[in-house]
Amino acid sequence: MNIKKKFPDLADMDAPELAKLLRRSNLSREDRQIAVSCFQWNMDYIDAGAKVGMDRRTVSRHMNDDIVPTLRRLRAKSCPKIAHG
């Protein structure tokens, strides 16, 4: 899965910005690892899940329900211009 196509609003996020947002988040350790695996290392959900002991469907649910909304919310707070176009 190409994460940049699925979440184009977060596609331009670089590694330092991702690290900063993850430090400010209240995400679990597993969710932070999934976020790094998918956004920074461009891993597929199945591979990211293998690193944390989850299947692809569970990783997808975490991405859609927890990780991406949290990153969007924190990014909007820190960079309103970027978050809203």
Domain ranges of the chain: 3-83
Positive/negative CA dihedral, 22, 74, 12, 67: positive
- pTM of the shown model: 0.88
Q: Which CATH class is domain 3-83?
A: mainly alpha
Q: What is the pLDDT along the chain (85 residues), one digit of tens a residue?
A: 678 889 999 988 999 999 999 999 999 999 999 999 999 999 999 999 999 999 999 999 999 999 999 999 999 988 665 544 4
- Measured at the CA of 51, the angle between CA 16 and CA 57, to 5 degrees, comes to 100
